[in-house]
Amino acid sequence: MNTEPTEGDETPKPRLTPEELDAYLDAAFDSLDSCPDEHRADDLRRHAGAEIPSLIHPVFPKVGVACLAGTSDTGKSSLLRQLAIAVAAGDADWLGFELRPTHRSAIYVSTEDEKEATSYLLRQQTRRYDDAEIGRLRFLFQAEDILETLQRNLARVPADLVVIDCFADVYTGDLKDTNKIRSFLLPFQKLAGEHQCLILFLHHTGKRTENLIPHKNNLLAGQGLESKMRLVIELRPDPIRPTDRHLCIVKGNYLPLTYKTESFVLHFDGPTFTFTNTGQRLPFELLVKGQDVDDSKAKWEQARELKAEGNTLAQIAELMGYNSQSSVFNLFKKAKKMGWESQTNDEDSE
């Protein structure tokens, strides 16, 4: 401890060194009671797991609110029913993604399909299951007081997943009012945290968004809805193959970039209303209808420059955030079809 005389006082007064001051402050801090609702960083780090808990690894979080959106007649409801069935039946995976349910239980809130229609669709989708395997999937067919109903039902019988089909039927306010949408979703977010489940909303994308690249802003209500979601997925039809759908992760907190730059190509089987994962991926830039010169051509020009620098297709894919070199190959394939190479050469020669 250092001493230093003060002006007008011959008696030296003690002065703490930086090390002593740190020790004093640490001791004083540790002696205090923790403040309500606060969590110390060292405690949080000690209790951290190896990864963020997920219901469908690694895409769907175990707890929180998420959204699947798309245009009409893409099979959104069928896809989410298939998910709820897989969770309740205890399947090991869903479309190739690992399932990690705790309760093997799901609730499906259906506001668009009535009981009779759901019975038929469910029978078609569950041909390979027996009654005992799907008994933990429960359906609700009304939207009134849905928050209170879910609170009561989850308290009695827990669930890993709650699907709300659809958002527009439970939220009756102005879709352009960002603050009201956020306020509406906050109780659902708290409900998910309280009961440690995922609440997944089905929603719609705006008109003519198929002419745009897959993006979280394509949702009706835009930022007001997506900003509260931990995960946003856009499901859209293939521009050429009518039985194919593209699962596009347009927002995924904590997900690597490779999940958010290419679609997962799904095949839809009409008679059974079920989807299978083809194992193929396609860059978002190639999913728009029409010419779509802007986004995909810009990506091709980037890939072209990387190739000119001597990078392989696999290296280009990694540098551009794609999962595999097949996406780069498809980009060059589209460039050839659109005649971009010859256009670029003509521009360079001018």
3-state SS class at 333: helix
Sign of CA dihedral 284, 288, 294, 299: positive
3-state SS class at 34: coil
- Please state whether the predicted TM-score (pTM) of the whole model is above 0.95: no
Secondary structure (DSSP) of 183-241: HHHHHHHHHHHHHT-EEEEEEEBPTTGGGS---GGGBTTTHHHHTT-SEEEEEEE-SS-
Q: Supply the Cα-derived Rg of the chain in whole angstroms.
A: 27
Q: Which residue has the tokens 């927002």?
A: 251
Provide the token pair at 47: 């209790």
What is the C-alpha separation between 343 and 225, in angstroms, rounded? 41
**Per-residue confidence of the chain (350 residues) as pLDDT tens digits?**
555 555 555 666 667 788 887 787 777 767 666 677 788 788 888 888 778 899 999 999 999 999 999 999 999 999 999 999 999 999 999 999 999 999 999 999 999 899 999 999 999 999 999 999 999 999 999 888 999 999 999 999 999 999 999 999 999 888 888 899 999 999 999 999 999 999 999 999 988 888 889 999 899 876 788 889 999 999 999 988 999 999 999 999 889 999 999 999 999 999 999 999 999 999 998 888 654 445 677 777 878 888 888 888 888 887 777 877 888 888 888 788 778 777 665 544 44
pLDDT of residue 42: 80
What is the C-alpha separation between 306 and 169, in angstroms, rounded? 48
